[in-house]
């Protein structure tokens, strides 16, 4: 197996740590091996995305609803982010709870965010290149979003770690997403949507 998989406090969300081979020349690792991922219930990928963002940029919280729901395997090729997943399975005991992890180009750890969860991140380094493989292609009609600062979620984005500022840098769209209590049934997931 080319990766170690650890559970988080949200069912289905996992942290994957690859085996890194390094010496004075640099390092080598397998980004993913399909059979390793399948052994942990992670579906094959159909799309690969790459974003570059500056310090304090916050992207999210995003997801796609069925039949275009996406699982995402998130990693950082350069820099460091705080990666966040929020449970949107309305009948789950963990509905509305979140988990987070620091992902960086030093540890090469990745986060698996299955369908049924919102995803977002904030950049902690000067620049971050974030890679994410998805299990379904982008479908704009199925895209949804959630307010990053919803007090009901109370996500600790650890912005104080980044020095003094008035807050994160957001797109207009990410600034205007609804709160959890404003989402309709069609914006959420049934508990059995994913493993």
Active-site residue, from 62, 68, 119, 194:
62
* CA 116 to centroid of chain Cα atoms: 12
**Number of C-alpha atoms within 13 angstroms, CB side, residue 185?**
2
Closest alpha carbon to 31 in 79, 81, 77, 85? 77
> Is 132 among the residues known to form the active site?
yes
Whether the Cβ atoms of residue 48 and residue 133 lie closer than 8 Å to each other = yes
The Cα–Cα gap between 74 and 44 comes to 14
Whether the Cβ atoms of residue 148 and residue 120 lie closer than 8 Å to each other = yes
Active-site residue, from 32, 108, 132, 194:
132
**Which residue's structure tokens are 């997403």?**
177
Kindly list the strands in the beta sheet with 58-64, ordered across the sheet, starting from the edge strand earlier in the chain. 98-104, 80-87, 117-123, 58-64, 143-145
Three-class DSSP category at 34: helix
Q: Which residues are catalytic?
A: 62, 132
């Amino acid at each position: 197996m080319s990766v170690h998989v650890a559970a988080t406090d949200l069912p289905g969300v996992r942290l994957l740590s690859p085996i890194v081979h390094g010496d004075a020349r640099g390092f080598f690792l397998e980004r993913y091996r399909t059979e390793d991922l399948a052994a942990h219930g992670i579906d094959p990928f159909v799309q690969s995305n790459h974003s570059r963002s500056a310090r304090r940029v916050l992207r999210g919280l995003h997801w796609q609803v069925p039949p275009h729901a996406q699982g995402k395997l998130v990693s950082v090729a350069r820099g460091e982010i705080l990666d966040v997943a929020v449970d949107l399975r309305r009948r789950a005991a963990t509905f509305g709870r979140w988990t987070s992890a620091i992902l960086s180009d030093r540890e090469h750890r990745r986060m698996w965010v299955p369908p049924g969860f919102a995803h977002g991140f904030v950049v902690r380094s000067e620049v971050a290149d974030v890679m994410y493989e998805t299990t379904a292609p982008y479908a704009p009609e199925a895209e949804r979003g959630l307010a990053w600062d919803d007090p009901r979620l109370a996500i600790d984005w650890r912005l104080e770690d980044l020095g003094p500022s008035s807050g994160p840098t957001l797109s207009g769209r990410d600034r205007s997403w609804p709160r959890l209590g404003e989402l309709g049934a069609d914006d959420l997931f049934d508990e059995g949507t994913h493993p």
